[in-house]
Amino acid sequence: MSDCDSIAGEVARLRARILHLKDEAGEALTLEQRQSAQRSLHIAELQLQVRERDLEACLSRENTLRDPRVFGFEVNQGLAEYELVAGKDTLFRVFLGVPPDVLAPPQVAAAAISDIVIDEPLFRTSRLDYASLSVTRPDGVTFEVPANLGSGQITNFSRSYNEYDNANFYVDGASLASPGHYEAVARFYREGSLVGSVSLGRHEFLATKDLRLLIVVDTWPMPVAAWNTLLGALEHVHRAFPVRAGIGPLNGVRRNGLRYEMEPNPFNPDFPAWGPLRQRFADFNAAQQTQGHPDRVEHILSVRVQQPGEPPRGGAASPGPGASVAGVVLNILPRGDLTFATLISQELGHNFLGSAHTPEPEIPDASAFDLVGRRSIRRPQSIMYGFFSGTPSEDGLLLPGDWSTIRQGLLATTSTGNA
């Protein structure tokens, strides 16, 4: 057992003791008993702070990976800045590069450049065969996730955000189902031997609730192209919003973070007004109750197929009374395909964030990542930018503040989730 393991054991015991003392303080029969428990609790909390710092210091000393070089790490659900949400697919990424000693060998550094005859490569690459991430869940159970190491050949000398570089550990939302703290350590191997480890520390994953949606369409059956566009948009919402992993039907698996019902009856939203939508929404939830289904919807989305000769139109949203919220989106002819998903995400975003748009189109954050496509987003764009932004769907992300606000909005509903 290493030093760090024994400190970690002590930290776990202190956490258990704090829980116990909180119970004791809550159940105390006399004022004296309560004050005594609170004093003990205060001391235990101070001890915990100190030992947690010791543990962090110890783990950072144990970061023994030298070749390749470690440029840091992050835990990412779209932007590294997002607060983490339990149940969502997550990238644990260790940034790797070529060790500095091979960048400038001493004989090269000492000589003037013109004196060197280059008859061998100045730079070598660094190589890994295998890496594994140990993640310890809030309940103390540890599971392992193998890395995606790309080719295993590491050639970059500075931090790279390319999805083909680094050690990328893709962790399924289902493995991170419960809110709480998760602790992660990555171990790296070459030719069957452990060559180093990196502690990624302890990260809190917060509770969230599921987004439930009723979709009505003005044309039934819808053209196949329209279906594809709409389903792509749902994928986008599922990726970009702070919800659990999984898309499925309402009244289906209740773990899915996005659940929807699509009504196979042509519904005229009285375009361009949308008065009947609220009634439709209320009727639907009433029918759910009558039929004994536990699921309710919090949003209604009206999809109108753009008519021949009609100019492209945007969407609109209107937060309703209480949790009942209406969103309306138009335009599903191919002309709008590339931006349609952003449009839907923006209208649903308005239901949580109000009518304001973000002033800047771009999000200056190199960590931007699409966890569904498992690719780096090179030009991340704000979903909430502009009146009808035309933001390419594949580049769209929420700003960190909007992500948090939407999570709070979800938590305020009676939806299912892990809260």
CB of 364 to Zn ion, least distance (A): 21
Report d(CA 305, CA 166) in Å as an integer: 44
x-marked contacts with Zn ion along 296-335 as a string, rule CB under 5 A:
----------------------------------------
CB of 144 to Zn ion, least distance (A): 43
CB of 66 to Zn ion, least distance (A): 50
Output 11 or 233, the one with its CB closest to Zn ion: 233
CB of 377 to Zn ion, least distance (A): 21
Contact 137, 180 (CB under 8 A): yes
Output 346 or 367, the one with its CB closest to Zn ion: 346
Helix (H) or strand (E) segment spanning residue 197: strand 193-206
x-marked contacts with Zn ion along 364-403 as a string, rule CB under 5 A:
----------------------------------------
Helix axes 400-411, 337-353, angle to 10 degrees: 60
Output 285 or 346, the one with its CB closest to Zn ion: 346
Rg (CA), the chain: 26
Output 257 or 349, the one with its CB closest to Zn ion: 349
Output 346 or 351, the one with its CB closest to Zn ion: 346
Helix (H) or strand (E) segment spanning residue 143: strand 142-146
| Residue 135 CB burial class (10 angstroms; 0-12, 13-18, ≥19) | buried
Cβ–Cβ contacts within 10 Å for residue 52, how many?
17
**CB nearest Zn ion: which residue?**
346
Instruction: Give the phi and the psi of residue 152 in degrees, each rounded to 5.
Output: 85, -10
Report d(CA 347, CA 340) in Å as an integer: 11
Output 41 or 344, the one with its CB closest to Zn ion: 344
Expressed in percent and rounded to 5, the helix, strand and coil fractions of the chain are 35, 25, 40
x-marked contacts with Zn ion along 79-108 as a string, rule CB under 5 A:
------------------------------
CB of 64 to Zn ion, least distance (A): 50
x-marked contacts with Zn ion along 337-366 as a string, rule CB under 5 A:
---------x--------------------
Report d(CA 34, CA 348) in Å as an integer: 47
Output 28 or 316, the one with its CB closest to Zn ion: 316
Non-local CB neighbours of 284 within 8 Å, separated by 6+ positions: 214, 261, 263, 297, 300
Q: For Zn ion, how many residues bind (rule: CB under 5 A)?
A: 1
Strand partners, 417: 209
Contact 93, 73 (CB under 8 A): yes
Report d(CA 327, CA 374) in Å as an integer: 29
Output 3 or 360, the one with its CB closest to Zn ion: 360
CB of 344 to Zn ion, least distance (A): 11
Tokens of residue 209, six digits: 């609730």
CB of 302 to Zn ion, least distance (A): 15
CB of 30 to Zn ion, least distance (A): 58
CB of 338 to Zn ion, least distance (A): 17
Residues of this chain that bind Zn ion (CB under 5 A): 346
